[in-house]
Amino acid sequence: MTGHAVEWRLGNEDTLRYLERMDVLSVFADCLTAPAPPSDLWSRGSSGNLMEVRTLSNELEQNNLNDVPHILAIAQDLLLGRVTAERMGAACTLLSEVTQNVTHSGSQGYALMQIYKAGNGRRVHIAVGDTGRGIPDSLRRKYPQVGQSSDYLKKSLESGITSREIGNGLGLYQVQHLVRNGGGTLTIRSDTAMLQINEGKVYQWDDLTRIPGTQVFITIWGRHEKGDWNYLLPMP
C-alpha cells in the first residue's frame, strides 16, 4: 500500500473506531488506509464545513425521535447558504434515510458530513457507518437465493426490500434515486462485499476482508474531479 501515510491492518481496534470516518479512508481488500492520522484530519472543532461525527443509537425510539432529527438540524445549519434549498432538502433526506437504517444493525452507528468547494459549486460528502450485522446477513434470512454478498447490497437498493417481516424498503431505494439524479456516488461496504453506483453504473466487489457492519458513503453534487478524489477501490 505504498503512497499512503497511514495503514491500519484489520485486527487493530482503531480500525473500527475510525470506520465512521470513511470520508478520509480508502478501503482495500485487506486493509483500510488514510493519507494522514485521523487525529490530524478530524480534530478540527472550528471547521466550518464539517459536521463532526455524531453517534446514532440502534434503539428505535432514541434513533428515530432524537438522534436523526438532531443530526438533520445540525446538517441544515452546515448547509445553509452553501447549497440551494432543494439540495439541502435532498441532503437531509439522504442523511435521514441512511441513519434510520442503523436500527436494523443491532449496533451503535456514526454519521458525518462534510462540504467541499468543487468548481463553482459545493460537493457534499455523507458517511454513515455501524459495526452491527451487515446487510447481507440481515437480508439472507428473508431472501436466501439472491447470490453473493454484493448481490445482497444491490438487492437492498430495490423498492420493497427490507430485512423486516412487515417492512417497507423505501429508504435506500430513495437514497440511490437521489444519488443518481444528483450525479453522485453511492458506496456501500458490508460484510465481505462492496457496491458502488457511479455515473449510472453499478460496480460490485466480493471476497474482500470481512468488515463488521455496514458503511455507507455518499458524494453528491459538485464536480467529481477524477484523480483528486480517491474512490474507494479501482473500478473493476
Binding site for another protein (CB under 8 A): 60-61, 63-65, 68-70, 72-73, 76, 85-86, 88-90, 92-93, 96-97, 100, 159-160, 166, 168-171, 173-174, 177
Question: Using CA atoms, how far apart are residues 222 and 27, in angstroms rounded to an integer?
Answer: 23
Q: What three-state secondary structure class fits 236? A: coil
Question: Using CA atoms, how far apart are residues 140 and 50, in angstroms rounded to an integer?
Answer: 36
Q: ∠ CA 64-188-80 to the nearest 5 degrees?
A: 55
Minimal distance, residue 185 CB to another protein, in Å: 20
Of 16, 4, 7, nearest to 210 by C-alpha is 16
Minimal distance, residue 160 CB to another protein, in Å: 4
User: Which residue number, 84 or 230, has a Cβ lying nearer to another protein?
Assistant: 84
What is the amino acid identity at position 70? H
Question: Which helix H or strand E contains 91, and what residues bound it?
Answer: helix 85-100
User: Which residue number, 15 or 64, has a Cβ lying nearer to another protein?
Assistant: 64
User: Which residue number, 27 or 95, has a Cβ lying nearer to another protein?
Assistant: 95
User: Which residue number, 69 or 147, has a Cβ lying nearer to another protein?
Assistant: 69
User: Which residue number, 43 or 62, has a Cβ lying nearer to another protein?
Assistant: 62
Minimal distance, residue 110 CB to another protein, in Å: 17
Minimal distance, residue 79 CB to another protein, in Å: 11
Minimal distance, residue 40 CB to another protein, in Å: 33
Contact in structure between 99 and 90 (CB atoms under 8 Å)? no
Minimal distance, residue 174 CB to another protein, in Å: 4
Question: Using CA atoms, how far apart are residues 204 and 44, in angstroms rounded to an integer?
Answer: 34
User: Which residue number, 49 or 93, has a Cβ lying nearer to another protein?
Assistant: 93
Question: Using CA atoms, how far apart are residues 184 and 131, in angstroms rounded to an integer?
Answer: 25
Q: What three-state secondary structure class fits 31? A: strand
